[in-house]
Structure 1
Amino acid sequence: MELRHLRAFAAVAEELHFGRAALRLHAAQPALSQQIKHLEQDVGTLLLERTTRQVRLTAAGVVFLEHVHRVLAEVDRARESVLATERGARGEIRVGVTGAITWRLLPRMARAYRQRYPLVRLDLHPAVFSGTQVSSLLDGRIDVGFLRAPVPDGPLASRVILNEPLMAVLPLGHPLAGADAVDLADLSGEPFVTYPSRHGSALRDAAVHACFSAGFTPRVVQEAPDTHTVVALVGAAVGVTLMPASAERLQLEGVVFRPIAGGVDVRVPIALAWRREDPSPVLAGFLATAEEVLPSPPRGDR
């Protein structure tokens, strides 16, 4: 039983006229008659009664037409689904997110993307550290990631979408807590709380580099696995730290956030990263949407 035979039968059954059905299908009438005969042989019964004056459905033909309509509708849905997948309009994209700032950016991106691609499922994969996101991209566990730059060269491509300033985070009773801004050099003798070095934290690396630029190596007295805990330890007067401005949204008691003075460049770039050779049309649609919704900052701000 061939699909073309089902389409031929549906056309004749709806038109009840071989000539009109042939015109509708852009087919020759004798070929159409042969297709109906082959179909009736496959089904094993007469589906159409033909006379010189009219064509009408048999009782079996009426029942069969109902099934043919369902089959053809399902075939059309299957074709559209395949074409939508090829266009990147259907499927799934696995998105890695890291840190408070990416959770702030993601809703804007997700809303725009879902408006354009409502049939694509966004599968979010949270991770604490950017190094984890890089590994997940390389291993194929996620398709695209919001992470702290820099992103290693090679199989990954990336684009900076935001530059976020680091701020000094101090216990409420700290002598510098009342200052409008904090010179990094004034923190050279302070104990620091930060992320573990073994996890490949881009934020830790940026903070350490900023301290180096100010002429000292931070004395780390305690490490914590996430931003919330690091800031809470500062609130407990265990030490000070450097955090991106978005961490202030945690609104933990006992801590103050102060801008960094002294001319040290302490911005932390946020990047969108993906596998360079990934041919996925779903990924292409996501990246195109991101180009509009989350454009790269001007060169002077990078």
Structure 2
Amino acid sequence: MTLDDLRVFVAVCRTGSLSGVARELGCTQSAVSQHVKRLERETGVTLLERRPRGTVPTAAGRILYEAAADGITGLDRALRTLDDLANGAGGSVRVGTGGATLRHFMAEAIVGFRRRNPRLSLEFRTETSSRRCFDALLANTLDLAWITIGAPVPGIEQRPVVDLPWVLAVRADDPLADRSTVDAADLTDLRLVRLPPNSLSGARLDAAFTELGVRVASDTSVADWDTALLLTELGLGPTVVPAVPGLRVPGDGPLRLVPVPALPALPVGWAVRRWDALTPLARAFADTVAATCTEQSTIVRRQAVS
């Protein structure tokens, strides 16, 4: 039994695909199978089960997976720390995020944190969904991931940072622009620039609309909140987006943000493998982002109702 055997086995359990792991490692599927078979010979039990939709660990396999995954995470963290000591580096923090996330949630924190830790290596990796963030965390290619908080995920700890209220963005000449708030009923039959339904924030918004009996139409959808605001500014229709920290809409500009208090706030925050396994630098970075987000979110709420 080798460390490589365990790494491959953990990867197969995580992805549910021998061929997927082979592509990831740049080897053959047969080579991946050999790693698993060696573990099965030494343990004397069957560790994986083939199913129509992929490969899953058996009951014995789950026991080994949980122990190996935790052990590999700790070992990789120790190896990174030793590498920092050997090379005289200031350490590193690997963060899963996107461009809009950096702009609205992390920009101020990054500047201050780097100033306090000038030798720190900050590595940002763009992920297209919370699911991909979770996979990267489980594979130990990320320390932290910024996500929309959702249902519990095995092997992942989620920590809410801030609840984002929803606002209706309209052009300044729209009849709703001068409202102090918008009722849910006022949204019915609007043709909105919509968030994608396969995103967690879009799904949350659609679920809230359904619960409130709000029927909206749309012939335009976008992948992120900033693009939705831009298309509204260009006249393609109003949009409903979270009032994110760092969002600035000048009072004499083309847009107005009107709070929609009936919609439940959207919780966002950090996902990690294990909080107690984070390096001190990663934990400090997460805390710095949380503190600045809380402060900026308070400013945005006041701005939205003024």
- TM-score, with normalisation over the residues of structure 1? 0.57
What residue is the counterpart of 2:286 in the other structure?
290
Q: Which residue of 2 aligns with 1:124?
A: 124
Partner SS for 1:122:
strand
CA pair 92-232 structure 1, distance change in 2 beyond 3 A: same
The alpha-carbon distance between structure 1 residues 204 and 187, as it changes in their structure 2 partners (threshold 3 A), is same
2-side partners of 1:140 and 1:250: how far apart?
Answer: 38
Cα distance in 2, alignment partners of residues 165 and 266 from structure 1: 7
Q: Structure 1 residue 100: deviation in Å?
A: 3.9
Shift of 1:102: 4.8
2: CA distance, partners of 1:225 / 1:289: 27
Deviation string, structure 1 residues 243-282 (Cα, Å, up to 9, x no partner)? 1113743669633211114xx243111211111388453x
Cα deviation 1:122-173 (Å, max 9, x = unaligned): 1112446544433433444422112222264211112111112110112333
Q: Is the 8 A contact 1:168 1:241 kept in 2?
A: yes
Find the counterpart in structure 1 of residue 239 from structure 2. 241
Number of aligned residues = 211
In the TM superposition, what is the alpha-carbon distance from 1:213 to its structure 2 partner? 3.3
Is contact 1:224–1:230 with CA below 8 Å preserved after alignment?
Answer: yes
User: Which whole-Å CA distance do the structure 1 matches of 2:132 and 2:201 have between them?
Assistant: 13
Q: Provide the TM-score with structure 2 as the length reference.
A: 0.56
Which among 222, 232, 245 is matched to residue 224 of structure 1?
A: 222
Hey, what's the Cα distance between the residues in 1 that align with 2:173 and 2:202? 24
CA shift in 2, pair 1:290/1:229, >3 Å:
closer
8 Å CA contact retained: 2:106, 2:289: no
Distance 1:180 1:278 in 2: 44
Q: 1:130 to 1:171 in 2, by over 3 A?
A: farther
Pick closer, same or farther for the CA change 1:145–1:94 going to 2, 3 Å: same
RMSD: 3.6
Q: Deviations over 1:198-240 (max 9, x none)?
A: 4xx2221232233223222432321122323222222333332
Label 1:226 to 1:294 Cα distance change in 2 as closer, same or farther (>3 A): closer
- Percent of aligned pairs with the same amino acid: 23
Given that 2:164 and 2:268 are in contact with CA atoms closer than 8 Å, whether structure 1 keeps it comes out as: yes
Is this contact kept in 1: 2:197–2:206, CA < 8 A? no
Aligned counterparts, 1:249-288, within 5 A = 249=248, 254-261=254-261, 264-276=262-274, 279=277, 281=279, 284-288=280-284
Unmatched segments (≥5 aa) in structure 2:
1-80, 299-306
